[in-house]
Structures are given as C-alpha cells and as structure tokens.
Amino acid sequence: MIDIEGLYFNYDNEAVLKGLDLHIDARSTCAIIGPSGCGKTTLLYCLAGLLKPSGGRVLINGEEVKGIRRKTGVILQTNGLLPWKRAWGNTALGMKARGCDKAEIQKRVSDALKELDMLSHKDKFPAQLSGGQRQRVAIARTLVTEPDLLLLDEATAALDAITKEHLQNLLLRIYYQYPITMVLVTHNIEEAVFLGQSIVIMGEGRIRHRIENPCFGDKDIRSKPEFYSICAEVRKRLAEGGVL
C-alpha cells in the first residue's frame, strides 16, 4: 500500500525528515509516535500530498504521490469543520465537491451519521456539539468519500480521557468495517498500542524503532497485562532514543 523511500523534507534550511524508509501493508494500521518536532506531522502531510518532499518519494499502490490523492482521507486534531454549516452539511462537503449525485449524497451521509451515532445531531452547528461529536462528524465527512487510506493527526488529543477511549474504540470498529489502511500520528503511548498494528517510533526526523503489536485488535486489551507490557516496551524504546 505505502512505500516511503529515502524521504527528506526541509523547512528553509532545516532538515525535518532525514532519509526515511518505511513500508505499510494495505489493510493494516500504523501508529507513529515521538516527541513534538520529530517530524511526525510532516511525514503525515507528505503521505497526504499536502507537502512536497525535498528528496525521496512516497508511493501509494505503486504510484508516486505528487499532490492531493482522491482516495486519501485526512482527519486533524482541529477537525476542520466549517462553523457556518450544520453537521449534515459538513459531512456532505467532500461529496458535493466531487459533484456526486444528490440521491447518493443523501444516502451516504445518512448512513455515515447513523453509523457514528450522529444522525440525531445532523441539524446542529459545530459550536453546539461536544469535542467528541465534532470529531465524529469529521470522521463521517471522510468516510462518505470512501477512502482506501485514512490519515489521522492527533485526532483525539483535545478530548478528555473517556471520550478519547470511546473515539479510539470507534476508529478500531471503522478499521474492521471498511476496506481501509490507517496511519495515525499520536503523542499518546496507550493510543499507539491500542490502534497500531505496527508502532513506529520517531526521533529527530528519523525512524528509531518499529514494533509489531501482538495485542492489536482486541477491544478489551486495555484491561489486560499484555497491553501494559507493550506500552512499557514502547516507553523503553522512546527512552533509548532520548525521547523520554
């Protein structure tokens, strides 16, 4: 699905990504974790086609990413909802931009909002929704465009602990219900272990470690000792790179 080959990115004269190589299988999830400023979000934006690499390349399904890709969905911490549009209108935005048929928009938007328990809130503006509800609308807006790749940049960071876990559970459910590859950037070790089939640890623009996660896919794993063993392993690897 994704092949990153010798990826470099510079902001002015500062190297942010320093020769990254990474492969991510189709229909898998990859959590990218590391400290602020290590290049996580820059890497995600290169995957999304929002930033052009200074060197190297990103391939998705064998095709080099040279701009925004139609089948890539992006969900940000700020959710990016338009404050003057209701939940329904925000969800339909991508489909309308693609010129989709009105009946198709009606069905897909209704189905997505119902799936995410947001149909009863379809007429509310973003300011009338909680943080978790706004992120659900942002997810619905992405899902209706039927992406094969979902990129998430700190999508749960602004939420309280309980809402964060509910949204993580929702993302795991979405992964199993849709034919999708998921790449998420996070600062949160527990989130990386819960949602990452593989966990990539970054530091100073490089990939320091990659951990394959045997706990992935168990929605009840947070209550089991194995979960905390993997969390401890991630914490150890972060510390080895001088991150913690």
Gap between the Cα atoms of 221 and 164, Å rounded: 15
Q: Residue 36, SS3?
A: coil
Gap between the Cα atoms of 221 and 228, Å rounded: 9
| Sequential pLDDT tens for the chain (244 residues) | 999 999 999 988 889 999 999 999 999 999 999 988 899 999 999 999 999 999 999 999 999 999 988 899 998 877 789 999 999 999 999 888 888 888 999 999 999 999 899 999 999 999 999 999 998 999 999 999 999 999 999 988 888 889 999 999 999 999 998 889 999 999 999 999 999 999 999 999 999 999 999 989 888 999 999 999 999 999 999 987 555 5
Alpha helices in the chain (DSSP H): 40-48, 87-97, 102-115, 131-143, 161-177, 189-195, 225-240
Q: How far is CA 162 from CA 51, 132, 171, 184, in A?
A: 34, 10, 14, 19
* Segments of the chain assigned to CATH 3.40.50.300: 1-71+149-184+197-244
Token representation of residue 76: 């940000």
Taking the complete model, does pTM exceed 0.75, yes or no? yes
CATH code for residues 1-71+149-184+197-244 = 3.40.50.300
Q: At 33, phi and psi to the nearest 5?
A: -130, 150
Gap between the Cα atoms of 34 and 25, Å rounded: 21
